[in-house]
Amino acid sequence: MNPCREVGLEFVDDAPYRYVADVTVRATPEQVFEVFEDAEAWTVWALPIQKVEWTSPKPFGVGTTRTVSMAGGMVGDEVFIAWERGRHMAFRFTAASMPGVGAFAEDYHVTDLGDGTCRVHWVMAIEPSGINAVVMRFTGWMMGFGLQFMLNRFRTFVESRYPLARAA
């Protein structure tokens, strides 16, 4: 595993590459977090993810760890740097199986809209290294489209899991 630079929440705002997506979900913030905590769910809505293994026991919080296996053979070890169930979670890579990831973090904010829906705001922050720093200059724009596409899949997944919330 290749170690990644240790970053905090400030990296989400300061990263060389930032991608942002927003969606309104017909579900409660608690239901959204139930899906976030479900290792199998990530493999359904987040297309590159093939397996998620929580390596810390519940209850999850700051310092919780997991390992994520992705398409193309990439494996990332993650540590959560924010966790406020129903409202906010963020994690960063501690190591990646492939070179080219200088630093990586994701930040999710969930806002209860008070009408049986909530807003999910997702930021992916990347600092590539090596050849990936060059490649991102030309392909990075696609990440924003991909992020919004996956968040739309997340909404569909959550709303299909909680049909009573959808009918409300």
The secondary structure of 53-93 as a DSSP string is EE-SPSSP-TT-EEEEEEGGG-EEEEEEEEEETTTEEEEEE
Domain assignment present for 95: yes
Domain assignment present for 32: yes
Domain assignment present for 167: no
pLDDT at site 22: 98
Q: Is the pLDDT of residue 134 over 90?
A: no
Domain assignment present for 168: no
**Which whole number is the average pLDDT over 85-110?**
97
Residue 164 pLDDT level (bands cut at 50, 70, 90): low
Residue 95 pLDDT level (bands cut at 50, 70, 90): very high
pLDDT at site 130: 83
Domain assignment present for 158: yes
Q: What is the mean pLDDT of the chain?
A: 94
CATH number of the CATH domain containing 39: 3.30.530.20
Where in the sequence is the domain holding 99, given as residue range(s)? Answer: 2-162
Task: Say whether pTM exceeds 0.85.
Answer: yes
How many domains does the structure of the chain reveal? Answer: 1
Q: Is the pLDDT of residue 142 over 60?
A: yes
pLDDT at site 133: 76
Q: Is the pLDDT of residue 167 over 60?
A: no
Task: Name which residue leads in pLDDT, 76 or 139.
Answer: 76
**Which whole number is the average pLDDT over 73-100?**
97
**DSSP 8-class letter at 60:** P
Query: Which residue type does 52 have?
Result: V
Sign of dihedral through CA atoms 99, 97, 73, 143? negative
Task: Name which residue leads in pLDDT, 135 or 65.
Answer: 65
